[in-house]
Amino acid sequence: MTRPLAALLTLALALAALPAHAGTVTLTYSNFFPPTHVQSQLAQQWCDEVEKRTGGAVHVDYFPGGTLTKAPEIYDGVVEDLSDIGMSAPGYTRGRFPVLSAVDLPLGYASGPEATAVANAVFEKFRPAEFDDVEVMYFHAHGPGLLHTAKKPAATLEDLKGLKLRATGNSAKVVQALGATPVAMSMPDSYQAMQKGVVDGGLHPIETNKGWKMGEVVHFMTESQAVAYTTAFYVVMNKARWASIPPEAQAAIRELNVEWAQRHGRAWDESDAEGMEFFLSKGGQVVPLADGEAARWRAACAPILDEYVQEAGAQGLDGKAILEYILAAQKTARGK
């Protein structure tokens, strides 16, 4: 082989060893949802779509199932650069996100798209300082969070006395207001806790019965829509890493974020339907509230709203304005 030919071959091999896009920004994404969960699959699809829409300028390596950082640690993990992007819930770090936590209040949410629209609207309206140390991608939120119990049905407030129920964030206050004992734990720890009788049930969206297999360990679902809560989820990026992305790629990601928030909201409702089917297939029973109980449950939870206004005020926030805005955003999302 001649020297010029050998040199050309060496150069070709060297170029082949380089990344397809030498200027590619490579990011890591931490998520606590397991890889089989639809919300995790949507996050993976977001990663793929980021690379596609930025023309390869941004590549995202995805780490589901809490393999990089656990649910309560994801936000700090993004701030401290343990991951570049993270998805988790404000409710897992109670008290840290006073504005967005209001979205989780028991306001009778009817659907995932409604709750998702409210969460994003609240952030855009108030731009809370609690998220100043990250770049927010978007929020999404599940449909109505309902009461599920393992061994006995609960159709009245009296049925809840003495029960220990898994709950996080504002849903823990709902459990307490209804007369049960809240036990804080992330969803990945809940299955085993219910299976072993550490807790008697919990508040969770219908989709959880399939998405987290909770329908295998809870046998009764109370139609507690009167005080249905939601859980908002954030997707955030490390600020320095966001700044390293070219402006045209940032614009493509922002456009994608709007679309993906809506996809998450729709997926919550679709998976609620699947969760109900799974729950019933395991012999689960849907329990209607007894006559007059809806009003009693709403009255029992009303002080939670008053407490939120007071706690927000103690932090220099206008809790009443935040709550009123959420109620208005709910009506807008429902087309009322």
Q: What is the 3-class SS of the chain, one letter each residue?
A: CCHHHHHHHHHHHHHHHCCCCCCCEEEEEEECCCCCCHHHHHHHHHHHHHHHHCCCCEEEEEECCCCCCCHHHHHHHHHCCCCCEEEECHHHCCCCCCCHHHHHCCCCCCCHHHHHHHHHHHHHHHCCHHHCCEEEEEEEECCCEEEEECCCCCCCHHHHCCCEEECCCHHHHHHHHCCCEEECCCHHHHHHHHHCCCCCEEEEECCHHHHCCHHHCCCEEECCHHHCECCEEEEEEEHHHHHCCCHHHHHHHHHHHHHHHHHHHHHHHHHHHHHHHHHHHCCCEEECCCCCHHHHHHHHHHHHHHHHHHHHHHCCCCHHHHHHHHHHHHHHHCCC
pLDDT for 168: 81
All structural domains of the chain:
22-141+231-273 (3.40.190.170), 145-229+282-333 (3.40.190.170)
List the chain pLDDT tens, one digit each, 336 residues: 454 444 444 434 443 333 444 589 999 999 999 999 999 999 999 999 999 999 999 999 999 999 999 999 999 999 999 999 999 999 888 889 999 999 999 999 999 999 999 999 999 999 999 999 999 999 999 999 999 999 999 999 999 999 999 998 778 899 999 999 999 988 888 999 999 999 999 999 999 999 899 999 999 999 999 999 999 999 999 999 999 999 999 999 999 999 999 999 999 999 999 999 999 999 999 999 999 999 999 999 999 999 999 999 999 999 999 999 999 999 999 986
Q: What is the secondary structure of 19-32 as a DSSP string?
A: -SSTTPEEEEEEE-
pLDDT for 336: 65
pTM of this prediction? 0.86
pLDDT for 322: 98
Contacts (Cβ under 8 Å, ≥6 apart) of 217: 150, 191, 194, 195
Instruction: Count other C-beta atoms under 10 Å from residue 311's C-beta.
Output: 15
Angstrom distance (rounded) from CA 217 to CA 194: 6
User: Cβ(83)–Cβ(68) under 8 Å?
Assistant: yes
Closest CA to 92 of 101, 81, 102: 101
Closest CA to 83 of 51, 100, 60: 60
Instruction: Count other C-beta atoms under 10 Å from residue 71's C-beta.
Output: 24
pLDDT for 16: 39
Angstrom distance (rounded) from CA 26 to CA 12: 24
Q: What is the largest CA-CA distance in the chain?
A: 93
User: Cβ(63)–Cβ(40) under 8 Å?
Assistant: no
pLDDT for 169: 77
Report the DSSP beta bridge partners of residue 181.
Answer: 164
pLDDT for 4: 46
> Helix 247-281 to helix 38-53 angle, to the nearest 10 degrees?
160
**Can you give the length of the chain in residues?**
336
